Amino acid sequence: MFRFFEKLVDPYVAYPENNNPSQSLRVFLWDYCKPFRGIFIATGLMSILIAIIEVMLISYMGRLVNLLGDGEPAVVWATYGLEFILVAIAVLTIRPVVYIVQVMLLHQTILPNVGTLVRWRAHRHVMRQSVGWFEDDLAGRIANRIMQTPPAAGEVVFQIFDALTFAVAYVIGAAILLGDADPRLMIPLLLWLVPYLWLMRWVMVKIEPASEAASNARSAVTGRVVDSYSNIHSVKMFAHHDREIDYAKESIEEARRTFQIELRLFTMMDGGLTLINGFLVVGIVGWAMYLWMQGTASVGVVAAATALALRLNSMSGWIMFAASAFFRNLGVVKEGMGTIAQPITLLDDADAAPLQVKNGAVAVQDLSHHYGKEAGGLDHINLAIAPGEKVGLVGQSGAGKSTLVKLLLRFYDAESGQVLIDDQPIKSVTQDSLRAAIGMVQQDSALLHRSVRDNILYGRPSASKDEMIAAARKAEAHDFILTLEDNEGNVGYEARVGERGVKLSGGQRQRIALARVILKDAPILLLDEATSALDSEVEAAILETLYGMMEGKTVIAIAHRLSTIAQMDRIIVMDQGRIIEDGSHDELLAAGGQYARFWARQSGGFLGQDTTGTDA
C-alpha cells in the first residue's frame, strides 16, 4: 500500500525546461506542482471530508446526550440501539479509511515527491547556468538554497491540505452546526472570527518578509562557512583562524537577529490568540447555557456547543501556527527563488547544431570582451590558427590570455566579434558539442571528490579499463595511483581524492588531470600552465607526453615558463587585451621586442615579470 501511494507521482517526469522562470511566487510554485494537480484535488477533498466527519461527530455527541437523558437505558437501547451500532461501525471503519487515505496522500505522495521534484528541477536549472554566473556567487549559498527551498515548498503544500483546507471546512461546518441548533449561537463565533482573521492577517503580512530575511541570513552563514572550509589550506597557511571565526560570527549574529525578529511575531501571535480564544469559549458556552436556562436549547445543544468551542480553542492555535508556517515557508521559497528562478542567459541558439570538427582551424575575428567594464579583458583581437598548428600564448597577468580561453570555450558570450572553428561560429553550435571538441588542462587542476577512476573517466566515460590505465601511464600517474588509499579503505584507482583533490599533491592532481584529457582525445587542446605544478624531472617526462598528444591537434598553450612553448609553431604575445607580437620563437627573439625581453629576464625558465593578480 505504501508503494502504491509513493508511486502515484514520478518526481523525475519529463518537463519543458524554462529558460526564463516566472518571478511570481504563485506562478513559480504552480508550474513546479503541475504533476500533482490531480493529487491535490483528491487530498483537498479528503481534508474537507475529514472536517465534515469531525463536525458531525460533535453534533452526534449532542444528540447522544439528549437521547441518554430522555429515557430509561433499556428503552433508549431498544429504540436507538441499531443507530448506535451503525454509528460505531462508521467511526471504526469509514473514519479511519478517510484519515488513512488523506495521511497517505500527504506523507507518501506529496511530501517526499514535491521536495524531490523541486530539488531535481532546481538543480537541473542551476547546472545550466554559465560559468560566469557561478563566479558571481558563493557555492555554499547556492547549495543552501537548493537544499532548503524544496522542503519549504513541500511544507507549503502540506499545510494547505493538512491544516488550511481542513480549517476552512471545519469553521464553516461549526457555523452550520451552531446555526442549526440556534442561529443566535453563531453570533459569538462570528464575533470571534473577526479578530481571529485580523490577527492571522497581521501575522502573515509580517511573517513572510521576516522569514525571507531569516532564510537569506542562514544562506549567508552557509556561504561563509563553506568558503572557509573549502579554503582551509589558505586559512591555516596565513594563520587566519580567528579572522575566519569573526567573519563567520558576523553572519551567524545576523542570522540570530533575524530569527529573533521572526520569533517575536510568534510570541505576539500566541498572546493575542490566548486572549481572543477566551472570549470564544466564554461566548459560545455562556450563550448556550443562557439559551438552555431560557428553555430554548437542550442539554445536548449545550454539550455540543461546549465541545465545539473547546475544539475550536485548541484547533485555532494549530491553525494559526500552520498558517504562519505556510507563510514562513513561502518566505523561504521566495528567498530560494533568488537563485533557482534566475533566467538562463547563456543559451544555445534555437537552431544550434553540433559542432563538426574536420580540421580544427580556429579563427578569432575582432573579438572584444570587458566583462561589462570599460577596461580589462580583450580589445579587438584578430587571430587565425591553422589546422594542427601549435600556438603559445604569453603575456603578463591581466593581458587577456585567460579571457581568450574562456571565450573559446564559450563560458561567456563575447561582447563583440566572434570565434569560429572550421568556419562555424561557436555561438551557432551547441555548447556541449563545442566543449566535447576541446581538451583543456588548467593550472589549477581541481578534481571531483570521487575515486581516481571516476576522475580519469570524466574525460571519456565510455572508455575501457585498459584505455583508462593507458592514459594514466602516459600522464606518469599510474605508479603513484597504485599506492593511494583513502580513509574508507579504497585503494588504487578506487581511492577517493578528497574535495577538489586535496588529498593529493599538486603534481599528482595535475597528472590525473592530464590523464583525463589524454583519455578525452579531443581535436583541439588548450593548455593553461599545464606543467606548472610538476617538478622538473616529472615535467620532462610529461612534456614528451604532451608533445605526443599534440600530434594532429590544434593547440593553444598559455605559459609563463617559456621553455615549455619555445618549440611551438607560433608564439602570440598579448598585452592589455591586444596582440602585440606574433611569430616563431626565433623570429620573436630576433625582433627584440616584448618576448625577447621576457626570454632575457627568465630565471630557471620562468618569466621575470610581475605575475601577481589574476589574468583577465
Total domains in the fold of the chain? 2
Residue 534 pLDDT: 59
Last residue within a domain, chosen from 339, 373, 406: 339
Residue 309 pLDDT: 79
> Distances from the Cα of 148 to the Cαs of 71, 136, 227, 299, 464, in angstroms?
61, 20, 18, 52, 39
In a domain, 353, yes or no: no
CB 289 within 8 A of CB 304: no
In a domain, 286, yes or no: yes
Last residue within a domain, chosen from 339, 372, 406: 339
- Residue 295 is classified by DSSP as T
In a domain, 488, yes or no: no
In a domain, 542, yes or no: no
Residue 541 pLDDT: 66
Q: How far apart, in whole angstroms, are the C-alpha atoms of residue 301 and residue 4?
A: 43
Residues with Cβ within 8 Å of 276's Cβ and at least 6 positions away in sequence, in order, are: 192, 195, 196, 199
Helices (H) and strands (E) in the chain, counts: 22, 10
Question: Which cell is 437 given?
Answer: 571538441
In this structure, are 368 and 283 located in the same domain? no
In this structure, are 309 and 381 located in the same domain? no
In a domain, 302, yes or no: yes
Range of the domain at 310: 18-339
Residue 616 pLDDT: 43
In this structure, are 208 and 155 located in the same domain? yes
In this structure, are 262 and 136 located in the same domain? yes
CB 453 within 8 A of CB 494: yes
Strand order of the sheet with strand 390-394?
438-441, 524-528, 554-558, 390-394, 570-575, 578-583
- 10 Å Cβ neighbour count for 28? 21
pLDDT per residue as tens digits for the range 21-33: 888 888 888 888 8
Helix 186-230 / helix 241-293 crossing angle, nearest 10 deg: 170
Q: How far apart, in whole angstroms, are the C-alpha atoms of residue 299 and residue 66?
A: 6
List the Cα angle 473/479/482 in 5-degree steps. 115
Q: How far apart, in whole angstroms, are the C-alpha atoms of residue 99 and residue 102?
A: 5
CB 284 within 8 A of CB 189: yes
Helix 299-340 / helix 25-32 crossing angle, nearest 10 deg: 90
Q: How far apart, in whole angstroms, are the C-alpha atoms of residue 42 and residue 101?
A: 10
CATH classification of the domain holding 239 = 1.20.1560.10
In a domain, 4, yes or no: no
Residue 606 pLDDT: 45
In a domain, 53, yes or no: yes
In this structure, are 130 and 56 located in the same domain? yes
Residues with Cβ within 8 Å of 112's Cβ and at least 6 positions away in sequence, in order, are: 6, 154
Q: How far apart, in whole angstroms, are the C-alpha atoms of residue 218 and residue 341?
A: 19
In a domain, 274, yes or no: yes
In this structure, are 431 and 295 located in the same domain? no
CB 254 within 8 A of CB 220: yes
In this structure, are 254 and 188 located in the same domain? yes
CATH classification of the domain holding 422 = 3.40.50.300
In this structure, are 315 and 418 located in the same domain? no
Mean pLDDT for back-to-back runs of 10 residues, the chain (616 residues) = 89 88 84 89 89 83 78 82 89 90 91 89 88 79 82 84 78 78 79 83 79 81 82 73 84 88 82 82 83 80 80 75 76 82 87 91 93 82 93 88 90 91 94 91 79 92 93 90 89 87 80 89 86 62 73 86 83 92 91 88 50 40
In this structure, are 304 and 370 located in the same domain? no
In this structure, are 300 and 375 located in the same domain? no
In this structure, are 67 and 130 located in the same domain? yes
CB 447 within 8 A of CB 454: no
What pTM did the predictor assign? 0.75
In this structure, are 291 and 398 located in the same domain? no
List the Cα angle 286/292/296 in 5-degree steps. 125
